[in-house]
Amino acid sequence: MSQPLIEVEGLKKYFNLGRGNILKAVNGIDFSINEGETLGVVGESGCGKSTAGRTILRLYEPTAGSVRFNGTDIYKLSPSKMKAMRRDMQMIFQDPYASLNPRFTVTDIIGEALDIHNMAGSRKERKKRVEELLDLVGLNPDHATRYPHEFSGGQRQRIGIARALAVNPKFIICDEPISALDVSIQAQVVNLLQDLQKRLGLTYLFIAHDLSMVKHISDRVAVMYMGRVVELAPSEELYANPLHAYTKTLLSAIPVPDPEIEANKKHILLNDEAAGPIHSKDGAPSQDLFNLDNSQLVEVSKGHWVAM
């Protein structure tokens, strides 16, 4: 098989919370993503999935580990090489309200990346490219001079997508791109992302807490819990045959929009007094429900990894 586009190895990101408390937000994760593939990452708030995404893009400096893009370790790049690398790796953010600068027009938001990388020769060229991008994500180019607060959530998320696409990236991290959107709009955005992937040959890391949506869009899914990957498998396989206790809990908790199924469902309930991944100075986790500190990922069947 060809070399994966993205290889994440032993990635750790700790935050020092002061007073000797360390938040081990990402505590050693490994995975790779092939070109054109979508890897889904699911987990609940505080499991480290968003921190992982931001660290992979080097928006945070890692505590340990490496991320290779086409074989190049991005953490070893000089600032100028890193800047060039950013053209290949982009991000779509969760909050369509907070992720667009309220004082910029749509043209300036999308055109900013073009300015940073000197990709538009003239104002006219820049305008043309912005209009192209708006058209690509299904927005009306006449609205290019408007401000973000005038758009609905779904429209804003399209602006965010157009911004990410402006530099022709190969790899995009989608950080909960639909969780702030209304149900009827979510499908629009997911379809757009899938459509763009086909047309532009994009590779996605799709972070979300909505398991049914992740299953729909991903080729493979990684389940994260307390800073670690507890299970990684092709999406059909993961849903049909979940092995880790946490994955099972998570799957049983998804409400299904069908009153008959819901009436007969048995939930596996998790003790919610378990605290998050905050470790005291001596490194002891506050509570390790699944004994993750002493387990590692094992391949139990082809492509199906589980922590044990």
Residue 84 or residue 298: which is nearer to another protein going by CB? Answer: 84
Question: Which range touches another protein (CB under 8 A), out of 21-29, 62-70, 83-91, 126-134?
Answer: 83-91
Rule CB under 8 A: choose which of 75, 143, 237, 295 binds another protein: 143
- For another protein, which stretch binds (CB under 8 A), given 63-71, 129-137, 252-260, 293-301? 252-260
Chain residues 287-306 in contact with another protein, contact rule CB under 8 A: none
Q: Which of residues 10-29 bind another protein (CB under 8 A)?
A: none
Q: Is 106 in the site for another protein (CB under 8 A)?
A: no
Determine if 73 is a binding residue for another protein (CB under 8 A).
no
163 is a site residue for another protein (CB under 8 A): yes
**What gap in Å lies between CA 278 and CA 196, rounded to an integer?**
38
- At 32, which helix (H) or strand (E)? strand 21-33
Among 8, 91, 165, 224, binds another protein (CB under 8 A): 91
Residue 66, class by beta-carbon neighbours within 10 Å (0-12 exposed, 13-18 middle, 19+ buried)? middle
Binding to another protein, residues 187-216 (CB under 8 A): 187-188, 190-191, 194, 209, 211-213, 215-216
Taking the complex as a whole, the smallest distance from the CB of residue 135 to another protein amounts, in Å, to 13
Token digits of residue 179: 């969780």
Give yes or no for residue 90 binding another protein (CB under 8 A). Answer: yes
Is 149 an interacting residue with respect to another protein (CB under 8 A)? yes
Instruction: Give yes or no for residue 102 binding another protein (CB under 8 A).
Output: yes
Query: What are the DSSP E strand ranges found in 215-260?
Result: 220-225, 228-234
What are residue 203's DSSP bridge partners? 171
By the rule CB under 8 A, 129 interacts with another protein: no
E strands within 81-219?
A: 89-92, 171-175, 203-208
The b/e string for 85-113 (b: 16+ C-beta within 10 A; e otherwise) is bbbbbbbbbbbbeebbeeeebbbbbbbeb
Q: Which residues in the 212-231 window bind another protein by CB under 8 A?
A: 212-213, 215-219
Q: How many residues bind another protein (CB under 8 A)?
A: 85
Residues in CB range of 270: below 8 A, 6 or more apart: 246, 249, 289
What helix, strand, coil percent values describe the chain, rounded to 5?
35, 25, 40
